[in-house]
Amino acid sequence: MTDPRLTPVLNRIDKDLPEAIDRLMGLLRIRSISTDPAYGAECDAAADWLVDDLVGIGINASKRATPGHPMVVGHGEGDEGTGPHLLFYGHYDVQPVDPLDQWATPPFEPELQGTQAHGQVIRGRGASDDKGQLMTFVEACRAWKAVHGSLPARISFFFEGEEESGSPSLIPFMKENAAELTADLALICDTSMVAPGVPSISSQLRGMLKDEFTLIGPRIDLHSGHYGGPALNPLREISRIIASFHDETGRVAVEDFYEGVREVPGEVRRQWESCGFDERNYLESVGLTRPHGEQGYSTLEQQWARPTLEVNGLWGGYTGAGSKTVIPAEAHCKITCRLVGDMDPARLRERIRAHVEARLPPDARVVWSGDLDGAAAAVMNIARPEFEAARQALGEEWAREAVFVGMGGSIPIAGFFKDILGLDAMLIGFANDDDAIHSPNEKYDVQSFHKGIRSWARILAALSR
């Protein structure tokens, strides 16, 4: 049964779409590149723009200073006694635009363009990541306020300006303002759909572990004619150790590596199998013909629900032009692991280091580069009724079943909400994989923007019930 409050809100969204696009264009013109100090004033201007926009629809919003770029925090009241208190997060900062000569249009002069594959698109830096996504939620709230005079539930807004530069101010700000930011559920719009037109709720995000080591052999580089044969060659030995990380099936061979890994529930696996993911296109787009990961698991399971150990860099000896006949004194390796389930980054680091050290030959020693980043996976509590309510609302808008999906990458804010505020997070986004985020010619489909606004309106109606 359709919520009688919803139809006039959806009609208002359709009617006001041109104005909503104009507002987004205004935000996209602000060059809020957080990583470059030259754009500090522009980041400040983007925060001011958002405060003014929220205040314009009746939200009590303000700009909050941090040691870096400011946060924007706002609070809006809903109908008395309706639904949970929701906290919506987004970020207003964007990636640098380099290489500028590969942009077909100026990155901060956004424009509507017609395309054969996607219809109309909004072209410009930040269109998809994350200004366009952020504004889908704001526009849904604007429509509710315009039609009914109030929001459908109590909603807080939390926008940061450093997501693209590591969020150095985020954790201190969240801890200092935990009482104000605490809600019943966090909402995040900074993700994509698993396939075009397939609405998706991210139910799990892989974590990350980074490490680096140097294998040291002889005191100095050696002449390969004088010492080739009797001398230990660090490059050869590090290659042997790296080869021991995996068995012939692609499974990681580090002892107890899979402790804390969960199997995918049957219903979730069914959704993945029917979500429209095109494995062949996914692989062929990067010049591959078949998956090369852990055997016995589908490509989506490998990407979303299985842990990995990858070699990201390997070097040593002479790498310049021509030849230099040396046995190098050192060899170097960078590795990362993607984590799932309840895998513990600290314990896993110990196991990987023990695996390497147990395989050192005589006369070799290893030096680790110190503790690098490590973050556990984030697994959403999809048993909460709000998740199924949102999934049904998305299905109604997109006229096909919405799916719970995994993500191969990491979105740290989801874990921070849980660890610092005790909040479960629901991640719903409307980007497409070909939006070229972080790349030249970034775009956001007008359909994604329009139906994203309508989707949030439906979700708010469902949650407020």
User: Is residue 170 helix, strand or coil?
Assistant: helix
At 434-454, the pLDDT tens digits run: 999 999 999 999 999 999 999
pLDDT recorded at residue 465: 82
Write the CB contacts of 314 (distance below 8 Å, at least 6 apart in sequence).
238, 239, 242, 331, 332, 333, 334
Give yes or no for residue 190 having a pLDDT over 90.
yes
User: What's the 3-state SS for 136-150?
Assistant: HHHHHHHHHHHHHCC
Average pLDDT over residues 78-84: 72
- 317 and 235 Cβ atoms separated by less than 8 Å: yes
Q: For residues 169 and 69, is the Cβ–Cβ distance under 8 A?
A: yes
The helix or strand, by DSSP H or E, that contains position 62, with its residue range, turns out to be strand 60-64
Q: Nearest 5°: phi and psi at 167?
A: 50, 50
What is the mean pLDDT of the segment spanning 330-354? 96
DSSP string covering 92-149? --B----SGGG-SS-TTS-EEEEETTTEEEEESTTTTTTHHHHHHHHHHHHHHHHHHS
- The answer to whether 65 touches 104, Cβ cutoff 8 Å, is no
Residue 342: CB atoms within 10 Å:
12
pTM of the full predicted structure?
0.86
Q: Which domains does the chain have, with CATH numbers?
A: 6-191+411-464 (3.40.630.10), 207-261+307-374 (3.30.70.360)
The DSSP secondary structure of 398-455, one letter per residue, reads HTS--EEEEESS--HHHHHIIIII---EEEEE-B-TTS-TTSTT-EEEHHHHHHHHHH
- Residue appearing with tokens 């998740």: 387
- Select from 465, 458, 462, 463 the least CA-distant residue to 140: 458
pLDDT band for 53, please (50, 70, 90 cuts).
Answer: very high
**What is the model's pLDDT at position 82?**
64
Integer Cα distance of 401 and 338 in angstroms: 29
What SS3 class is residue 287? coil
The mean pLDDT value of the chain amounts to: 95
The predicted-structure confidence for 86-104, as pLDDT tens digits, reads as follows: 999 999 999 999 999 999 9
Task: Give the whole-angstrom CA distance, residue 374 versus residue 344.
Answer: 9
**Three-state secondary structure call for residue 165:** helix
Is 156:86 a contact under the CB 8 Å cutoff? yes
**E strands present in 167-325:** 185-188, 200-205, 207-216, 222-223, 308-316
pLDDT digits (tens, 9 = 90+) for 209-263: 999 999 999 999 999 999 999 999 999 999 999 999 999 999 999 999 999 999 9
In the prediction, which pLDDT does 379 show? 86
* Cβ neighbours around 17 below 10 Å, total: 16
Question: Cα 334 to the chain's mean position, in Å?
Answer: 22
Residue 1's pLDDT band (cuts 50, 70, 90): low
**pLDDT for 376-412, tens place per residue?**
888 899 999 999 999 999 999 999 999 999 888 778 8
In this predicted structure, what is the pLDDT of residue 81?
A: 57
Contact 443, 129 (CB under 8 A): no
The pLDDT tens digits of the residues spanning 300-321 come to 999 999 999 999 999 999 999 9
